Homo-oligomer: A and B are copies of this chain.
Amino acid sequence: MTADFQDWARSRQVRIETSLQTWLPAANVAPERLHDAMRYTVLGGGKRVRPLLAFASGELSKADDERVTIVAAAVELIHAYSLVHDDLPCMDDDVLRRGKPTCHVEYDEAIALLAGDSLQSLAFQLLAEHQLADTPQMQLEMIKRLAQAAGSRGMAGGQAVDLASVGKVLSLPELEFMHIHKTGALIRAAVMLGAWCGSSLNEDQLMSLDRFAKCIGLAFQVVDDVLDAEATTATLGKTAGKDAENNKPTYVSILGVSRARELAEELRREAYQSLEVFGAPAGRLRQVTDFIIHREF
């Protein structure tokens, strides 16, 4: 990672944190415990990978930074809600997330459920109440895209497939189907919504960008699987080795660590290729790509 990218990423992470602090209901507004849990879940943690992708993609389409910040916050709220629900006892039953007790451990299950539900609502509220695109019609398109990415044919659907796959042997295409939904859909939405905040890209360019987003979404998950298999709980900030323990099929369980690493590298190259049409202006997206592939947590 170059110092330039580190500075950029840090400034964007601060910006998204400030924005989320502003838009999340204050912890002294009733119902206080629910709002406290929402803030606990969202603030002060996470790599903010999806926001970084939205910012980088917004730079490419010459989008206004204020717009991209809202879009990035909305995507991050959806991501945060999915983590809270994913950690619940009836799902992955996890006690540690971002180095802290998970929401249902810190509060209780009912509050964690409602916090997740409310974070989802808030994401759509943000997308509806700020001007985010050159036309309100385009903004409706953004909302539609985020709703599809979050729903049963996107992220939530991927989680259902994930749960159903426990203890099963999946083929590589089946595993890919699962992750294209579970992780990929929201990452793709982050990239596209960021770009749609501006309007300098034509249809062909948007298609190239979507191809990029698809590769990077998959690459993210491959790296996640490798990290889960190799890292320690302390480095990850969440329980390591859960996948193997839960008998979940992963890229590592199917391909082995070394082939999984190769696959991540192949996907990185494919992502880079999709960005070739843009030349230098896609530099930031390339940096975020490297950040995703080479991260250690």
Residues of A within 8 A of B (CB): 25, 29-31, 33-35, 38, 81, 85, 88, 90-91, 108-111, 113-118, 120-122, 124-125, 127-129, 135-137, 139-141, 143-144, 146-148, 150-154, 156-157, 159-161, 163-164, 177
> Could you write out 6 A-B pairs with CB less than 8 Å apart?
A85-B114, A115-B152, A121-B150, A121-B156, A128-B147, A143-B143
Total copies of this chain within the assembly: 2
Are A144 and B121 also in contact (CB < 8 A) when A139-B136, A164-B31 are? no
A245 to B29, CA, bound (A): 30
A285 to B295, CA, bound (A): 59
- Cβ A110 vs Cβ B140 within 8 A: no
Are A141 and B128 also in contact (CB < 8 A) when A30-B157, A152-B38 are? yes
The chain B residue with its CB closest to the CB of A131 is B140
- Cβ A31 vs Cβ B118 within 8 A: no
- Cβ A122 vs Cβ B147 within 8 A: yes
- Cβ A128 vs Cβ B116 within 8 A: no
